[in-house]
Structure 1
Amino acid sequence: ISFDPSTFSFTAEVDGTNPDDQILTISNVGMGTLNWQITETCDWLTVIPDNGSSTGESDAVIVSVDITNLSAGYYDYELTISDPCAMNTPQTVTVDLEVDGPIIELSDPNFYFFAEEGGTNPDDQILTVRNVGLGTLNWSITEDCSWLTVIPTSGSSTGEADAVILSADITGLSAGYYNYKLAISDPCAMNSPQTVFVNLEVLGPIIELSDTSFDFIAEEGTINPDDQILTIRNVGAGILNWQITESCSWLDVEPHSGSSSGETNAVILSVDIEG
C-alpha cells in the first residue's frame, strides 16, 4: 500500500462554509492487485470512494469535511487503509480539522475595590469584552453576588470592545475582604469560559495600643504605686468605638470606653494594694 499524503489539515470558520475537499491517492507498489478499503466512522468526515483496486495506477479518494453543528475547536480522526493480502497492511492517514470561531479578550482578569465601613460605595469600574477571533462573539456573564452588580450581563462583538460596568455596594458589609469570580462565556468561543476575579476590601478601625504589658511594684502596707497610662488609637479607617472589660478587685481603669478616628485616647490604670 502506497498513499499520499499521510496527513490532511482542514480549516474552517464556525457556522461558515465547509472547507474545500482534498485528494488522497492510493496505489499498489508491490506485486499483483491491491484491493484496498478505507475504514471511516466519523460524523464530520466523508471519503469517496472508500474502496478500490490498483495494479500500479493511482486511485483518487475525495476527502470531505462537514462542519455543520460543530463548535469552535480542534478535531482529528485517523483513517485506516487496509488489504488483508497487502504486505504492509494496515496504513493510517491522519485528518486534522480546526474550526475557528470567536475568541474572548478581556481588558483585565482582576478588579479591586476599596471602601470604608459605613462609608460610600467605591467608584464603578469598567470591564471590556472583545472578540479577537472570527465571526460574532455572543458573550454572557454569570453573576450571583449580593454586593456586586454587572451591567450589561450579555452582548455581542465582531471586533469592537463592549463596556461592562462593575459596581460594588457595601451596604451592610462589615470590615473585611470579599471576592467573587465572574464567568464570561460563549459556547461557540474557542476559549470559553473566561474568568474575572473581583476583590473588595472594606476598611474598618484598627486598634493600636501603646503597650500590651504593665508592671506595678509596691511595698506591703505602704502607699499605692503610681498610676500608669495606656493609650488607645485607631490606625485604620472610620471610627474606633473601643471598650475595656475589667473585673479585677485591685485594678481600676478610667475610662472604660471611648472613640478614636485617629487621635490618641488616654486610659488611667490604677492599682490599690489595700487588703
Structure 2
Amino acid sequence: MSEILQRNLLSVILFSFTLFLGCEENPSGPTVDPNLDISMSSLDFGSEYTELTFKIGNQGVGTLEWSITSSTDWISYNPDAGTTTTESDVVTVSVNRDDLSAGSYDGVIVVTPDTGSSQSITIQLVVPAPELSISVTDLEFNDTEDEFEFTISNTGGGILKWNISETAEWLTISPRRGETSTETEQISVTVNRNGLSAGDYSRDIIVYSNVGERSIAVNMYKGLKIREYNFNTNNDLDEEWICLSEGNDFWGIVNDQNRGPVVWCNGRGDHTDGLYNNNMFSTMRLKPEEEMDVRQYSEVVIQFWMYYETQEDDDYVNFFVRGDDDNWYFKTWTQWSGSNSSWMEYAVNLSDWGDIISEDFLRFGFGFTSNHSTQFAGAFIDGIEIWAIE
C-alpha cells in the first residue's frame, strides 16, 4: 500500500471516529426549548358575560413559566402566573362594568413566558345604557301612617345618576340623590301633618335620572272623609243639589276631555258655542236633606276641584255657606275672577269663617255671576269632598 493511500485511509478512520464520539455525547439530537401556546387570541364578553376562560399550554419540551399582565383596570385574571410542562393551565378572565359609562370597550392582556415571545389576547365588552326602575308608582298614607319606603335600581348597565324632587312642605324624602350601578337604593318618604287642616293632600314625587324620569303619586290624609259628591248625570245632580237661575242658565253636567263628567255653570243653558251667557246669576246649593251634622268635629274642610275662566273683575264664581240665620255667605277669598289656567284643587276651612255660619249643621253651594258679554268658558266644579277631625 502506498504511503499516500495509507495517509488517506487514516484520515477517514479518524473522521469516522470523531463522528461516533459526537453521537455518543448527544444521543437525543438537537435541544428543544419550552414554547408558549394560548388557546384564544380574543375574548368577547358582549353585554352580559362577566367571566370567560382560556388555556395556556407548552408546545415545547421542559417546563414553561408564564405570567399575565394588563394595563386595563376593569380586567382581572386568575391565576396571574404559573408553570406548565405537558398539561394546560386554565385562566379565568373577569370584567367589571360598575364604573364604566355606557358604550363599547377594548382591552388587552399579555401572557409572557420565561423563554420565547409574549402573546396578547384582546378583551372586548359592551356596557348597556342604564335603566331607571322604581318599586312603586303610588304611596298612600292613611290617617295613622307617616312613613313608607321604595327602592331605586338600575336594571340596565353603566351608572344610573338620579335625584328626587321634593314638592311639598309636609313631605320629606331621604336620600334625594345618588348613583347606582348594580346595588339597590332604599328611599324613605315621611309626611308631617302638623299645622295642616283636615283633608286629602296629593303631590307627585319625580325621580329624575340621566336616562329619563319616573313619577310616584303620593296621597296623604288627615282626618276623616265624611262626605263626597261626584257628578255623572243631571239626574244625579238634581237628587242632591238645588240648581237655580235668574233666567234659563242652570248648572249642569258636561263632559271634560280630561276629567270626564263635571258640573258647569251654564251646563243647562244656551251654550252652543261652549261659553257662558251675559247677565247670568245661577247657583247650585245642597238640598236641606243633604245638610250634615258637624257637631262632633273640631274642624271641617270642604275640598273641591275647579277650573274657571271669566271676564276679569266683572264676572266671578264663588263658594258660599248657609248661616244660622238661613242666609248664604261667602268670603272674599272664596270668590274667584279671571282664570286659574287649569284644573286646581281648593280647600275651604270653616274655622276661618267665624260666627256667621252654623256650628251645628252644614250646607254649602256655588254661584256664578256675569255682568259682561264675554268670550270665556265660565266655571267647572268636580270632586267635592268634606273632611273633618273629631
Indicate the TM-score class for this superposition, using the shorter chain for normalisation.
0.3 to 0.5
TM-score scaled by length of structure 2: 0.30
Greater relative contact order, per chain length (Cα 8 Å cut-off, separation 6+) = 1
Structure 1 or 2: more helix by fraction? 2
TM-score scaled by length of structure 1: 0.40
Q: Which is greater in Rg? A: 2
